[in-house]
Structure 1
Amino acid sequence: MSISSSQYINPLIVQRADPYIYKHTDGYYYFTASVPAYNLIEIRRAKTLAGLAHAAPQTIWRKHESGDMSQLIWAPELHYIDGKWFVYFAASKTTEFDRNGMFQHRMFCIECDVADPMASEENWVEHGQIKTPMDSFSLDATCFEAQGILYYVWAQKDPDIKGNSNLYIAEMENPWTLKTDPVMLSKPEYDWETHIFAVNEGPAVIHRNGRYFLTYSASATDENYCIGMLSASDNSDLLDPANWTKYDKPVFQSDLATHQYGPGHNSFTVAEDNQTDILVYHCRNYTDIKGDPLYDPNRHTKIQPFTWNADGTPNFGKPVPYNYQ
């Protein structure tokens, strides 16, 4: 029996942007996301996706009083690598903009080597900044393994390229250190990537049908926010940008008919049947945002199953309407 979107309450979790859900070998779903105050990292878990809505969050790390990790804690992701837990996140030393008019985020990593990542804040150790050759605005890191190699994908500002951020990939020496020089995979170039802000950010990777699909979010974080995609054959050199195909249209975007605006910053997980692929993302149900959209807390976590086209590409459909009572 196939799983339909009607089986899940949406939004699943309110006021949680940049959602990340990981199904671990212990049978639990682990969830983390940006909290509206941008001041800490929390994890919750449940045996079912629906159960995450009522699971108690556990704080695993708090921002520093001052310094590089003291402001605007964004977009944590929880990964399990070689028997240890890692969280990637972005943080800033200030809320002020730099000379390029950008926030001043850099990317960081924390590690937990006990079985239960929620046991205690004391179990998490800091590895500091994940450094890249460019010392500039960087965020939204994710990682994936291919052919025994750990890859790191993230968004970063190149001062010599117009726009806010591009997408980069590199091989990793270990979960907090790059091994190779970054390679740019994508920059904002299409109209749908450059509404208000020229943005490529929030990468996520899924491996199906002989290909790696890399989704990302584009444009400003209001109703213009949408998801684009790249793909590469799984037997190709993933560090060669020529092996990645960029789609010239968004693969997931606002649906005005059902008042679903700005879907983006997605991740992927699998349903309880361990077969059905699930798209995880945040979305709003209104466009009248007061002030900076970044500080509007009502980007809610949503989930929905998706299917695969005959040519092997994902078919995400449209953002499902809210269906909570």
Structure 2
Amino acid sequence: MRFNCIFLCLLVWCCFSCCSGKRADHATCIDSLQYYVNPISATSLGHHVLFHRGVYYGIWGWSSNIYLRATEDITLLKDKELKNVWSSTDSSVGNIDDAELHYIDSKWYVYFTGNDNNLDDRCIYVLENDSPDPMQGTFKLKGRIETDREKSVAMFSTVFQQDGRLYLVWCGWPSRRVYEENQCIYIAEMKNPWTLSSERVLISKPEYEWECQWVGIDGNRTAYPIYVNECPQVFRSLRQDKILIYYAASGRWTPYYCEGMLQADASADLLNSASWKKCPVPVFDQNTSDKLYGPSIVCFIPSPDETEYYYLYNVRKDLEDMFISLDKYEVCMQKVEWDKDGIPVLGCPLRQDTLLRKPSGTRRTTD
């Protein structure tokens, strides 16, 4: 009897100690099936996650391979096994990066950047799979997207549809390498998911000071100035009347890496550069109070019941060796809040011991 009382007291003390600690510890005490804390992954999950018919698909391009993983609970994506769904057998299509998965006209397409070991030859390739499930079937290489006559660098591509027309948005160079590098955002219309039907149109170039930071906090720098607009992601306003393009700005090797935003009326001529207006300040920036730097590569996803929206992003806590360790990012997720015009308000990263409720409709499962 005495032993049971002592055991019970110890058990109560342990629970109290756990639940009275940091909010991150509190999350595990309350209900890990309903709540989460950031980061949802201690390493990068890739550049893109797609939600389709109740499932979140994460994609990762590495070396000569494309990998996929799937989950019904986005906070558990990091725990799912990566499946190799395609491997390049062509030496000119290697160093795969920036992969995205899209579902267009009942087929799956993967857009990724590849090169032949020459960074000046980076270009966009497309894979196609007609299986209902992207984890099944066969992905086949459709080829390279010719983005301009000079075959300038093209990378970080994404696609979207508007009024029955398909568009490609990507990061590219105005011309071949020079002694000052500008990474810009371009748009073009597509004849099909692997072929452009229009000339590329420049819609954003680095121009503000916050887009042109290329010297790291420790003084490390590239051989010459590199001004960056990259990693475009397309989203829409709450009323669907605006097309929004979020993009990462400044050097990834600096703590000043952040998110900018372009917007155009959904009814406008999207191939007219004048249709696109740039926000003059970052829309998602570092949180220096909680030492969260370089928030970027935003990817928007709906909740499982599609009543809410969330955004995934990469962030760094360590300012050491930023120039060398470009991939030392954690992945976090926050709920989208909206302003009076239906434009997302991203702000800055929340502190990482904040207890957050999982997206609406997430199934209570330990799987």
Does the pair score TM above 0.5? yes
Helix, strand or coil at the partner of 2:227? coil
Name the structure 1 match of 2:22. none
Correspondence for 1:155 among 147, 160, 171: 171
Q: How many angstroms apart in 2 are the aligned matches of 1:50 and 1:39? A: 27
Pairing 1:1-325 to 2, within 5 Å after superposition: 7-16=35-44, 18-25=46-53, 27-35=54-62, 38-64=63-89, 66-67=91-92, 69-71=93-95, 73-94=96-117, 96-98=118-120, 104-119=121-136, 123-133=138-148, 134-159=150-175, 163-196=181-214, 197-208=226-237, 209=239, 210-222=241-253, 223-289=255-321, 291-294=323-326, 297-323=327-353
The 1:138/1:235 distance shift into structure 2, 3 A limit, reads same
CA contact (8 A) 1:28 1:45 kept: yes
In structure 2, what residue type is equivalent to 1:116? D
How high is the sequence identity, in percent, across the aligned residues? 32
Alignment-mate amino acid for residue 49 of structure 2: I
**How many equivalent residue pairs?**
305
Q: Secondary structure at the match of 1:50?
A: helix
Shift of 1:21: 1.3
Aligned residue identity for 1:14: A
Asked whether the 8 Å contact 1:188–1:194 carries over to 2, the reply is yes
Label 1:139 to 1:224 Cα distance change in 2 as closer, same or farther (>3 A): same
Structure with the largest fraction of helix: 2
Measured in 2, the distance between the counterparts of 1:274 and 1:155 equals 29
The residue type paired with residue 102 of structure 2 is H
CA distance in 2, matches of 1:216, 1:314: 14
Q: 2:229 corresponds to which letter in structure 1?
A: N
Secondary structure of 2:47's counterpart equals: strand
In angstroms, what is the RMSD of aligned CA positions?
2.1
For 2:319, give the aligned amino acid: T
Judged with a 3 Å threshold, the aligned counterparts in structure 2 of structure 1 residues 263 and 18 are, in CA distance, closer, same or farther, namely farther
Instruction: Give the deviation of 1:34 after TM superposition.
Output: 4.7
- 2:206 is paired with a residue whose SS is coil
Note closer, same or farther for the CA distance 1:255–1:118 as it changes in structure 2 (3 Å cut): same
Which structure 2 residue ranges, 5 or more long, are not aligned? 1-33, 215-225, 356-367
Instruction: Give the deviation of 1:321 after TM superposition.
Output: 2.8
Tell me the TM-score normalised to structure 1 length: 0.88
Instruction: Indicate the SS of the match to 1:53.
Output: helix
Residue identity opposite 1:311 in structure 2 = D
- Partners of 2:83 and 2:196 lie apart in 1 by 30
Q: Look up the equivalent residue of 2:143 and give its one-letter code.
A: G
Higher relative contact order (CA 8 A, sep 6+): 1
Maintained 8 Å contact 2:211/2:227 = yes
Structure 1: gaps of 5 or more residues:
1-5, 99-103
